[in-house]
A and B are shown apart, each in its own frame.
Chain A
């Protein structure tokens, strides 16, 4: 469902807004690290679902540094979260144009990623896209159903 369009949107956001290359993954792309982050934005309306963007800490900092024009190791954690929220916001807004109206876009939020895969148990993945950016893995998942929230006991609280 929309795999090609999702890929094109990701490429557009990465190259226009972040001015970073987004490529097909290679074997050398690093695995998800314990400090990885997942940015989440959801859609409600004629279709209910959400999209997640998961990145390792190093790439998250590189992206934030590029947007804020600050060295990655000099960024505050909130600056990294802010940058990732804006990236998922751009992905979500462009994906929304593919979905049947009416459709409302949520505010984005950040969660700790990867450790608790049970957080997405029973939530079907419509599409899962894997990319590589500077030898770092990028994962974009497009899922149906209600987005994870702070009220779910299995999830780590959103790192707003």
Chain B
């Protein structure tokens, strides 16, 4: 069975590592994981290869997470995208949902949250 392809998008190298680690701790240890340091890099990466899920921060230089999502949808790319961000206010959650995000996980997060939320997406 092919591994799920995941793209982690965050301008912080430390946070990208924490997300990887939390995926493993949540029981998702058989994934093909790639990384991008901002929305622009992520858009280029996603345009070149198929991903099952994008885990994206919101506030990033070059292109924010919401700008990335809007760009993907404008280019008819239906890839699932969930935000992993400090921006967890009701307004931001509503904006994320309206733009087509599958979920929003607020930082700081736990492996239990990853297991619960991503389990619905990755199975």
A interface residue numbers (CB < 8 A to B): 12-13, 16-17, 64, 67-69, 79, 82-83, 85-86, 89-90, 92-94, 96-97, 101-102, 105-107
Known: A68-B13, A90-B108, A96-B87. 14 other contacts (CB 8 A): A17-B107, A67-B15, A67-B17, A79-B14, A83-B14, A86-B14, A89-B59, A90-B86, A92-B86, A93-B106, A94-B86, A94-B106, A105-B59, A107-B59
Q: How many cross-chain pairs have Cβ atoms below 8 Å apart between A and B?
A: 62
Chain B residues in 8 Å Cβ range of A93: 85-88, 106-107
In angstroms, Cα B21 to Cα A68, docked, is: 10
Pick the most buried of B14, B15, B109: most chain A CB atoms within 10 A of its CB.
Answer: B14
- Once A17-B18, A101-B91 are accepted as A-B contacts, the answer to whether A79 and B86 lie under 8 Å apart by CB is no
Q: Is B89 an interface residue (CB 8 A)?
A: yes
Minimal Cβ-Cβ distance residue in B for A66: B14
Q: Are A16 and B59 in contact (CB under 8 A)?
A: no
Q: Which residues of B contact A97 (CB under 8 A)?
A: 88-89
**Which residues of B (1-49) have their CB < 8 Å from a CB of A?**
11-15, 17-18, 21
Contact B12 A85 (CB under 8 A): yes
**What CA separation (Å) do A102 and B86 show in the bound complex?**
16
Residue from A69, A86, A101, A105 in contact with B15 in the complex, judged by beta carbons closer than 8 Å: A86
Chain B residues, Cβ within 8 Å of A69 = 17, 21
Can you sample 14 A-B contacts with CB below 8 Å? A16-B108, A16-B109, A17-B107, A67-B17, A86-B14, A89-B12, A89-B59, A89-B107, A90-B108, A94-B106, A97-B89, A101-B89, A105-B86, A107-B59
Residues in A neighbouring B21, C-beta threshold 8 A:
69
What are the nearest 7 A-B pairs in CB distance? A93-B86, A17-B108, A16-B108, A67-B14, A86-B12, A83-B14, A97-B89
The chain A residue with its CB closest to the CB of B17 is A68
Q: What chain B residues lie within 8 Å of A83 (beta carbons)?
A: 12, 14
With CB as the reference atom, state the residue of chain B lying closest to A19. Answer: B108
A18: shortest Cβ distance to chain B, in Å? 8
With A16-B110, A101-B91, A105-B59 already in contact, the answer to whether A89 and B86 are too (CB < 8 A) is yes
Across the interface, do A82 and B108 meet the contact criterion of CB distance under 8 Å?
no
